[in-house]
Every structure is written in C-alpha cells, then in structure tokens.
Amino acid sequence: MVMLAKPAIEQFSYIRNSRPTALFPQIPVVDLSKPDSKHQIIKACEEFGFFRVINHGVPMDFISRLESEATKFFSLPLCEKEKTGQPKPYGYGNKRIGPNGDVGWVEYLLLTTNQDPNLLRFLSGENPESFSLWFCYCRFALNNYMSAVKKMACEILEMIADGLKIQPRNVFSKLLMDEQSDSVFRLNHYPPCPDVQSLNGSNVIGFGEHTDPQIISVLRSNNTSGLQISLRDGSWISVPPDQYSFFINVGDSLQVMTNGRFESVKHRVMANGVKSRLSMIYFGGPPLSEKIAPLPSLTGGEQSLYKEFTWFEYKKSVYNSRLADNRLMHFARIAAS
C-alpha cells in the first residue's frame, strides 16, 4: 500500500458536513455514439458544467496501461520521488498544491503535453535512476493515452460548436490542436487517510474546491469515490466513480468564450479512509498568446460579460490565487452605475 509521509492531520483542511452530500444518479450521461449527443452536451454544460461520457472511443488498453504505470510511479519510495524536486511548474508534488498555501491529502505528477525541453531534462538523467527508468517505460503509455483523450476532447468541443450553431466548428478545438497549445496532464494519487475514521463525521480534503482555468478538462479515475461537484444552488453532491467512463469539466476559458452560457464547475476531492484514489486529467488549454473573449455570435448583440485577456494573463492570475478564489471576477465587466 502506498502511503504519504504521515504529517499531523491538523495541517490539512477538513469539512464538517452540516448535511450529508448524497449520490446524485442524475448526473448527465452522454453517449458519444448517439446522433443527438451534441444536444445532450449543450444541456449538460448549461445546467451542470459537468457530464459523464460513455462510448468515448478511448481503448481500455490505453487506460489500464497508463493506470498501471502511474501506480508504479507512486509506489516509488517517497525520498526518491522528492528528489525530482518541487514542480516548477512541471514535476512531482506532495501535499502542497501551488505556491499560495493550499494543501491537500494528495501527491501528483504534472506534465506538459508538448515536448518541452525543460521537461525532457527533468525526465532524464538529472533524476533518480528509478524515476528515469519509469519514464522510459511510461512514455509510450502516456503518448497513446494523451493522444486518444485529446482527440476525444476535440470531438466534444466540435459537437459543442455544432450545438451552439457556431462556425467554423473547430473554433474551440483548434486551440487544443495548435502546436503552441498550453495543455497539461496531471496524475493525482490520493492515498488512504487513516485519520478520517477518527474525525467524527468530518472529511479530510484531498484537493480543495476550485474550477479549472482551461477550456475543457477530461478526467478518468479508478473505482474509488471522492470526487464532488457543486450545483448551481451551492450544494455539493458526490459523483459515483466509474472506471470505464470519462468525466468532462467546463473550464473558465470556455465559460468566457460562451459569455457565461456555460459555467465552469466547482469541484473538490475528499480523502478516502480505506482505499487509494488515482485520477488522470487532461487539461485542454489554448496557446499562451491566445486572446480569450466572448464569441460575438454568443453575445446576442449585448455587451459581453468579460473583458478580453490572453491565456498568459489569466494563467498568471490563477498562479497567484488560492484554489477557491473566484479568478474570473477580475476579468468581468463592471456594469455602469
């Protein structure tokens, strides 16, 4: 069993549930093989900013192979993983999430989807032999998985464009397909938290509440619960795990580009007292220089809700914020009084 170095539980945030969050079987399920899937996607994005996809076309062999390799990595001794250094921004992280004081019961590996020379040096001989050997074996699995998931994300974005009657239909997907796309890939490992049972109804936070800043996020996890999403009324619901499906999050950038018609979903992960949770997330982002603004065809002739900004500007704002901060607030237009 893989365990984090055991710190005092007081270092971590926890939530005392005033009312228990319940499983919510009505979370939208979209069958990508069905001809009406684009309409289901639009409805899910408008009502939840989140949905589950089945018949997604990603081979299960790609999924299971990468999950196996990720498990091997997180099974390395903690001292060896820590020798890779703190993520700047790519690399291995343990408990600390970002530079602004957020912590969680999680360890992770953050990778760029592009062949960044700095990342390749990070993943080469400057690191412990066991890590470099792991990456050599894992590179093939990573490439297969990320290529398939990126293809699916682009197909979903093109269905969204079709459903919104936007031309050209690659208005969103071309940003992910661009050679300069600033997309990233993250492996999260949440070890069992033995102290959960002693907290008398409180939950230890594995990853605090936040929205994803990119355009779209594609999540796959093993069959361990923990993921929760916030509904429009502010209540939290638990998402039943499904190791054979993918979960799609609307990101902040897509919220802006649709002028608020879609809203990015606030989500979090609770630690599990018995089982470890492993998740793999593709964050589809635009090039750093890309200007993000509401599409004219979606403003209906009215003033747009957001100011134009570049992805670099927004990414910098995100990096300087806490997880739970409303980062889009700084880019919203203020109505004249």
H-helix or E-strand containing 248? strand 246-250
Residue 277 falls in the annotated catalytic set: yes
Phi, psi of 178, deg, nearest 5: -60, 140
Distances (CA, A) of 117 to 91, 121, 184, 287: 13, 6, 15, 17
Q: Is the CB of residue 161 less than 8 Å from the CB of residue 171?
A: yes
**CA 63 – CA 280 distance, rounded (Å):** 9
3-state secondary structure of 35: coil
Distances (CA, A) of 230 to 52, 208, 329: 15, 12, 18
Amino acid at 278: L
Q: Is the CB of residue 243 less than 8 Å from the CB of residue 222?
A: yes
End-to-end CA distance of the chain: 59
Q: Which contacts (CB < 8 Å, 24+ apart) does range 158-163 have?
A: 159/37, 159/38, 159/41, 160/38, 160/41, 160/42, 160/45, 162/38, 163/38, 163/39, 163/41, 163/42
Q: Which two tokens stand for residue 283?
A: 């964050």
Q: What residue has token string 């066991």?
A: 130
**CA 105 – CA 207 distance, rounded (Å):** 7
Q: Active-site residue among 277, 322, 327, 333?
A: 277
5, with CB counted inside 10 A (0-12, 13-18, 19+), is exposed
Q: Where in the sequence numbering do the catalytic residues fall?
A: 277
